[in-house]
Amino acid sequence: MFEWMKDRFKRGSMRGSEENTFEGRQAGRARVLIKYNVGFKNNLYIRGHGGGLTWGKGVMLKNIGPDEWVWEPSTPIADCEFKVLINDEKYELGENHHITTGKLFQYTPRF
């Protein structure tokens, strides 16, 4: 993980779902941080409802490290429901996730 990210976020375990308040961000902003090695020439996408997401077409996450991906909505959100996909085709296993205003949601998906 990049040093600047360590300073900006309160870190939790990347092994399980964890939601934390994060500092230094604009009020109402949320962030999803994914720890997953998707393999060369593959990308992670996010689909959902809220935060500009739809269930019909995914938004590619930004790759910020060898196995780290991030999504931030461009506007503040009240509630967002989402799932992550490999190459906007293969959904992660399990229930949908939820994120709210001013939260960091970090986890490792299972496919």
Q: How many domains does the chain have?
A: 1
Confidence of residue 25 (pLDDT cuts 50, 70, 90): very low
Structural domain containing residue 81: 3-107
Residue 8: which H helix or E strand, with range? helix 3-8
More confident residue, 58 or 17: 58
* pLDDT of 98 over the 90 cut: yes
Do the beta carbons of residue 73 and residue 104 sit within 8 Å? no
Confidence of residue 105 (pLDDT cuts 50, 70, 90): very high
The predicted pLDDT at position 77 comes to 87
Confidence of residue 88 (pLDDT cuts 50, 70, 90): very high
Mean residue pLDDT of the chain comes to 82
More confident residue, 11 or 68: 68
Residue 75 belongs to a domain with what CATH number?
Answer: 2.60.40.10
First to last CA, the chain: 23
Q: What are 32-84's pLDDT values in tens digits?
A: 999 999 999 999 999 999 999 999 999 999 999 999 999 999 888 889 999 99
Between CA 109 and CA 21 the distance in angstroms is: 20
